[in-house]
Amino acid sequence: MQEFVGTCKTCGKQIFCREGFLDGVVLEDKSLICFACLEQSASIPD
Ligand SMILES: [Zn+2]
C-alpha cells in the first residue's frame, strides 16, 4: 500500500508514503524533496 504525498520540489519526481515510510523528506517550508536531491543538496556547503 502506498499513498501519494507530493512531488519533489527539485526534480518533480512523485513521492509516495509506503507503509509509513516516506520516499523523501518534508522540509521546514512543508515542501518535499526526494532522497536523491537531498543528497545533492546536502553535499553543498551551507
Ligand atoms: Zn528530487
For the stretch 1-46, pLDDT in tens is 899 999 999 999 999 999 999 999 999 999 999 999 999 987 766 6
Cα–ligand 1 centroid distance for 28 (angstroms): 16
* pLDDT in the model for residue 44: 63
* pLDDT in the model for residue 16: 96
pTM to 2 decimal places: 0.77
Whole-angstrom CA distances from 16 to 1, 34, 39, 44, 45 are 10, 10, 18, 26, 28
Quote the cell numbers at residue 35: 532522497
Cα–ligand 1 centroid distance for 38 (angstroms): 7
* pLDDT in the model for residue 46: 62
The residues facing 14 across adjacent strands are 7
* pLDDT in the model for residue 28: 92
Cα–ligand 1 centroid distance for 40 (angstroms): 9
Whole-angstrom CA distances from 13 to 32, 43, 45, 46 are 10, 20, 24, 24
Distance CA 41, CA 28 (A): 14
* pLDDT in the model for residue 33: 95
